[in-house]
Amino acid sequence: MSTTTSTPRRTDRVRRRTAGAALLAAATLALTACAADPAGESPSGPPSANPSPSDTETPAPLGGTVTLVTHDSFAVDEALLAEFEASTGLTVEQVAPGDGGALVNQLILTKANPLGDVAYGVDNTFASRAVAEGVFAPYTSTAPAAADAADFALPGDDTLTAIDYSDVCLNIDDGFFADAGTTPPATLEDLADAEYAGLTVVPGATTSSPGLAFLLATVAKFGEDGWQDYWRSLVANDVKVVPGWSDAYYTDFTVGGGGDRPIVLSYASSPPFTVPEGGDEPTTSALLDTCFRQVEYAGVLAGAKNPAGAQALVDFLLSEDFQAGIAESMYVYPVSTAVELPAEWVQWAPLADAPLALDPAAIAEGRDGWLREWAEIVTG
């Protein structure tokens, strides 16, 4: 979630290894690997009733390498990570298969021989699939922000810990519409208007977690029997669909990548990062009537080679220092209520008052079919 002024920072202390998969395989799995969801996907509910290992047990010693499997937008302050490594004796490596959708697909494909020890970036649109597939092992953190994270817990699940959240919304290039002398769009319906033909780019629902969030937003807005016609109208209006959020924002968006599309699917928290050097206000706006609330989780991977290190890393993601840096490093809201948000966020990155939402059971039941229908509509 970034803009022209900066990109999510990659630290030299995070060793990266390539673990990508072909986009076709990712899309195929996304359309066929959906499983029943006994727990639901609501970003609310009681904390897990299954405790972490008893305080009477001897904690496993820390040390060695702990591998974090995450999406491309994960970023951490170099000095903060170095401090974590020094205090624990752990060495953190990173595997980044792609966007959030590709991340979940790879976690499922490799669950018998996991890519690492802990995963971060599984969101509430894909989480139940990974949980149902047995990707994660139980763990309940006692880190400072754990109580706040529990407010976003998946009901009945004791494996995933909420780390951050944001609203997936359409963003627009304000300067483009001002220069053109046209009224910018404000609603989902506007995107299908001929006035905005060829101006919108979005990540795909089968390959991107923001893309799936946008699909769910349209289902919530137009209903199970109406969203298909809406997407047909978007296709007829020359919407561009690309594999991931980074592709949309950094390649095709007029602000983020110098492309030719002034309407992009991004986040409510994106505009503050488009304030130009020496400027005093963003060059983009989020359309808050188009938003879907997204929550990102971390979890210890079942079959992890370093489960103790994985648990320590989950605790680190909930630590006060890491939570305090989330807004400026990854452009999302920390779950910790103790964090003071940057002043520009208070002014330029408000959350939606009433984000579009679906019942968790409806998402679990309908997601597979919606993805199939969506792919058929978009590919023609």
User: How many alpha carbons fall within 13 Å on the CB side of residue 312?
Assistant: 23
DSSP assignment, residue 72?
Answer: T
Region 15-165+294-348: CATH code: 3.40.190.10
Handedness of CA 371, 136, 295, 74 (dihedral sign): negative
Q: Would you say domain 167-292+351-379 falls under CATH 3.40.190.10? A: yes
pLDDT digits (tens, 9 = 90+) for 85-127: 999 999 999 999 877 778 888 999 999 999 999 999 998 888 8
Instruction: Provide the residue ranges of all domains of the chain, joining segments of one domain with +.
Output: 15-165+294-348, 167-292+351-379
- The pLDDT of residue 270 is above 70: yes
Report the relative pairing of strands 284-300 and 263-267 from DSSP bridges: unpaired
pLDDT digits (tens, 9 = 90+) for 273-322: 899 988 889 999 999 999 999 999 999 999 999 999 999 999 999 999 99
Q: Could you tell me the pTM of the whole model?
A: 0.75
pLDDT bracket for residue 151 (50, 70, 90):
very high
pLDDT bracket for residue 154 (50, 70, 90):
confident
Percent over 70 (pLDDT), the chain: 84
State the distance between the two ends of the chain, measured CA to CA, in whole angstroms.
30
The pLDDT, as a whole number, for residue 58 is: 55
Whole-angstrom Cα distance, residue 263 to residue 353? 21
* Helix extents (H) in the chain: 23-32, 78-88, 100-109, 127-132, 146-150, 174-180, 209-222, 227-236, 245-247, 307-317, 320-330, 343-348, 360-379
- The pLDDT of residue 46 is above 60: no
- The pLDDT of residue 54 is above 60: no
Q: Is there a shared CATH topology between the 15-165+294-348 domain and the 167-292+351-379 domain?
A: yes
The pLDDT, as a whole number, for residue 256 is: 87
The pLDDT, as a whole number, for residue 126 is: 83
Report the relative pairing of strands 161-173 and 263-267 from DSSP bridges: antiparallel
The pLDDT, as a whole number, for residue 350 is: 93
- The pLDDT of residue 212 is above 60: yes
Which of 248, 357, 202 has the alpha carbon at shortest distance from 292?
Answer: 357
Whole-angstrom Cα distance, residue 380 to residue 377? 5
The pLDDT, as a whole number, for residue 59 is: 60
